[in-house]
Amino acid sequence: MGKNRIVITGMGAVTPVGIGVANYWDGLISSKRGVGKITRFDASNLPVQFAGEVKDFDPEAFMTKKQAKEMDLFMQFGYAAANEALTDAGLNPDEGELDINPERIGIVVGTAFAGVAGISEAQDSLSTGAAKRVSPRFVTKIIGNITAAQVAIAKGFKGPSLTVTTACSSGADAISTGIMLINSGEADVVCCIGAEAATCPLTIQGLSSAHALSTNNDSPETASRPFDVSRDGFVMGEGGGSVIIESLEHAAKRNANIHAEIIGFANSTDGYHVTSPHPDGIGAIFCMKKSLERAGIAPSEVDYINTHGTSTPKGDTIEVNAIKTLFGEHAYKLAVTSTKGSTGHLMGAGGITETIACVMAVKEGIIPPTLNLDNPDPQCDLDFVPNVARKADIKVAMSNAFGFGGQNSSILVKKFE
């Protein structure tokens, strides 16, 4: 894992099933469904009319009116999650002076689409003549790196600030990149953020044309049905997630509360196709295997996998086969779930919110269920914990995040001892 033991000392979440980690976790384990008809714009003429929207989000509960005006929605979600995580870690300058050099605090943001919804809206206003000019804030609201900049400006952090965009692996890759910054000596603490709010007519049309989205407009809340024989595509979601990571030595020095230890991570690419995963799951297998090797543990030591499991006909089967190939007989003893039945697919934010789900599973001894799994695909025959959460002793959990372009990311968390 490198020269440092890496621990998570803060967590924050903004999701379609709850705002704040406690509400998010409660939503997952109480089988709450966060997907419904789109309310933010008129979707009645679109091929897909539903998504996982964040409900009742008031940006001014997390930031000033001026900050809210300067940020696109995806940035607001990321900022709110980071604010919660920093407070949780005892590192929020708003709560009192820090005794850490601000030059040693880094930020890494992961986002797949950045400000695409804002771009689409602005262009539509110009094209239709509804607007004659573009706001002076436009550019700084739609470029992905300004999420990190807003956190740095507000909190006074001066360390490395990076933004990664690796499709739906972006959030998980933000964590991996943060670990690399700590292990290379570039930072002592890294605020890792995933942020996404890309639901707009343009992305819906584009993803529909690519046959990626579920078209179950009659029953939106059950449209995301990972591993079910009737699954027909993923459901767009949105939100923000954040984890604060640091070396165990650094966390111990400041007497921080430790949620869990990250014992392994890996990133890989299929080198195969721009949208389809490799049919044999070679990148996923390599990625999961590499994270286990980095952690120095055997496959049999993993108790739970939070899969990428997006509810696409091809992707779910390929991931299940990859797990079977790598884990062998142990694959049937593992709990293997997808929380996307609950939240939809949070894309760039998913890798972090799902890592948080793994941390909570380890801490609380509860496995969040796979919702809407009523008729399992015969090819998907693992223990998917359908529809109802289950108590279990979880010591080690893996979170998988895969994305367009053949991106693969795996994070391994362990109960901290």
Catalytic residues: 168, 308, 345
Residue 132 burial (10 A CB sphere; 0-12, 13-18, 19+): exposed
> DSSP secondary structure string, 336-352?
EE-THHHH-B-GGGHHH
Tokens of 173: 């890759």
> How many Å apart are CA 331 and CA 336, to the nearest integer?
8
Contact (Cβ atoms closer than 8 angstroms) between residue 162 and residue 109 = yes
CB atoms within 10 A of CB 209: 10
C-alpha–C-alpha distance, residues 4 and 78, integer Å: 27
Q: Give the tokens for residue 24.
A: 């998010």
Q: Which of 305, 168, 151, 147 is nearest to 236 (CA)?
A: 168
- List CB contacts of 352: < 8 A, sequence separation 6 or more: 81, 110, 171, 172, 174, 175, 192, 193, 194, 241, 242, 243
Longest dimension (CA), the chain: 63
Task: Count other C-beta atoms under 10 Å from residue 309's C-beta.
Answer: 30
Please name the residue ranges forming H helices in 33-137.
65-70, 73-88, 116-128
Distance between CA atoms of residues 207 and 344, nearest Å:
15
Helices (H) and strands (E) in the chain, counts: 13, 15
Strand partners, 242: 12, 193
Please name the residue that has the structure tokens 């979880």.
Answer: 394
Q: CB within 8 A of 85, min separation 6: which ones?
A: 10, 11, 12, 191, 242, 243, 244
Amino acid at 33: R
